[in-house]
Chain A
Amino acid sequence: MRRMRARDVGSRRHLFLLLCAGMAVLLSAGPAISTTAAAGPAAHGTAAGPAAHRTAAAGSARASSADLAVRLQALLGRHSVLAADLMRSRIRGDDSFAQAANAALGGNTDAMTTLVGQLFGAATAEKFRPMWSEHIVALVAYAGAVADKDDGAKVHAREELVEYEEDLARFFAGASHGRLSPKAARAAVVMHVGHLTEQADAYAAGDYATADRLYREGYRHTYDLGLTLADALLPAADRATLRKPVWRLRSRLGEILAEHAVLLEDVNRAAVTNTADFDASADMINDNTRDLAAAVDTLFGAATARRFQSLWGSHVELLVAYAGATAAGKPDRRHETRAELGTFEKDMAAVLAPATGGRMSAADLSSALQDHDRMLLEHADAYAARDYRGAQDIAGRTYEHMFALARRLADGFGATVAARLPQGGAQTGYGGLAGVAGTR
């Protein structure tokens, strides 16, 4: 019934094209997607660079519930950015991009369904998939209504979304066996939908600063939602593991580094197309760079953070300059930026390797940064060539690569910091309340 209504709203032509594209991807990719989904956070891998091989190797090891919980966070965060990208392309009337984003979103839903099955059981996964897919259809219908300036269709799409919000909230609350209240579950889902619909409204109105603020908030919210769900649905022992500092550091560093890749790709898209949303995109990547520097400050102090940010900022500038040179048709400048990135990779590796206490060598780090930069340059090239499908594939691998790197860095950073922590308990009493202080 609701699906029938969804088909009536917005532009039928665009929705039909998107759904066809999604079906085509599912049918053609089939088993490959399932295999990839089982192996790592992203389900879009195609080309097999060194980074992809390492990630696949890491993913083939037996994953703990905590590993899977971080993957759930990663997939939910990527769902948010892919859904926003899809809605924006629908508003722009950019069908080619929309089809590529929709295909990537389909792969993300597949991977998430597989993961939900691994974490919470096949029955839960079976219920999850249709509800999740239908909320995406409703979001696209909303974007279509915004694009078409059809207020009636917009109201209709909102009604659809409210119903899916209630269904999803009931589903999550029910699966948690009371640990997640229906009210809390609904608030989380409503906020997710709100981020996406409001960013679409702002984007259509040309208010890119607001649209991009909501884009970031949406990513962080869905990323955190993954932890909330895992915390509510997993057994007690697994929930305790999720709260351990090592897992929190892996999760949080992965969140910031993966967001760096997402936002770098977004600003490069704006650079390559030379569109008026470039400033807002530039502000987003700068905010992420501030967050990364603040993280380094809290781990290693202000001096290291300043050194890190100086190098990291150069890295961001070079990648954006490459995209700009691509837009301007300046092959010499493209070549220069590639060469300068090589210097950055070595310099940054020299800063980070000691921070891991030698757990990652400078050569290893430099290689990982090379992989990262190479993928981002390839993404800019694919985007400039309007190979949006290829760009989405690279974006998925870049995102996944960031989590693999974040995990290694988090473990190295965590061990380095742990070596200098205070030993034992605190002597914070002299006995004046003895007999009273102990009656807990």
Chain B
Amino acid sequence: MPAYARTATLAGLTSAVLAVLGGAQPYAHRPGGTAPGATGGPAPVAADGFRSVRTYPVVAPPVRLRIRALRVDSPLQRLGLRPDGTVEVPARPDVAGWYERGPRPGQPGPAVVLGHVDSRTGPGVFARLRTVRPGTLIGVDRADGSKVTFRVTRVAQTSKTAFPTDLVYAPTLDATLRLVTCGGSFDRDRGSYRDNVIVFADEA
């Protein structure tokens, strides 16, 4: 029992005695009320024992992504920024990656996971991402064994030249998840797709 709880309990008992002996004390008739001041010295003050917290729950980094509806079950590589300021992408087409300079999934903000739609020869981990429907559940396992689930709210396809950085990465304090892959037509000269497919999901 914290110190302020003990003093409050003691103060409550003092109050009860005063209420019986002395009649109308200011707060004695209230639920759990106490009466300031008592014979033989000042009443203990509950606030004296108060200490503010100096810790907060830390959300562990994500280690695995699961989307049962798409048969996706992938470990998560950590991703940062390239020297040119663009986001790193997973080293392997069959493994998704979490952008580690943003929120961790379940933290108050948009966590971003990226995955390849394909390799040069076949499908990648997010090959079917564009087919996902609103309402689909997405699971994320975290390093400390905890899990968090998100529900898809919408799917968007947008040109890479007009990529909505704001809507995907900008801070909101809402615990959300964004999944990003490629889509649209393939530009063979540049060796890349022209669009990105973005899945928006809220914590379920």
Contacts and interface: CB of A to CB of B under 8 A. Distances in A.
A268 to B, nearest CB: 8
Contact of A428 (B5, B56, B180): B180
A261 to B, nearest CB: 15
Contact of B108 (A204, A252, A433): A252
B160 A424 contact: yes
B191 A426 contact: no
A209 to B, nearest CB: 11
B184 A440 contact: yes
A440 B56 contact: no
A414 interface: yes
Contact of A316 (B8, B52, B182): B52
Interface in B163-195: 163, 165-167, 169-174, 180-186, 188, 191-193, 195
A298 B174 CA distance: 10
A253 B172 CA distance: 9
A210 to B, nearest CB: 13
Contact of B45 (A274, A290, A429): A274
Given A290-B57, A422-B169, A432 B121 contact: yes
Report which residue of B53, B59, B124 has the largest number of chain A beta carbons within 10 angstroms of its beta carbon.
B53
B53 A289 contact: yes
B77 interface: no
B54 A310 contact: yes
Interface stretch (B31-39, B64-72, B133-141, B143-151): B31-39
A246 interface: yes
Interface residues of B, number: 90
Contact of B31 (A204, A317, A432, A438): A204
B50 A321 contact: yes
A245 B171 CA distance: 6
Contacts of A313: 52-54
Contacts of B167: 244-245
| The 4 residue pairs across chains A and B that have the minimum distance between CB atoms | A324-B47, A276-B32, A425-B160, A429-B182
Interface of B: 2, 4-5, 8-9, 11-12, 26-27, 29-34, 36, 42-43, 45-48, 50-59, 81, 84-87, 89-90, 93, 99, 101, 103, 107-110, 114-124, 126-127, 130, 157-161, 163, 165-167, 169-174, 180-186, 188, 191-193, 195-197
11 contacts: A203-B31, A206-B32, A273-B36, A275-B32, A276-B32, A294-B59, A316-B52, A320-B50, A426-B89, A427-B89, A440-B157
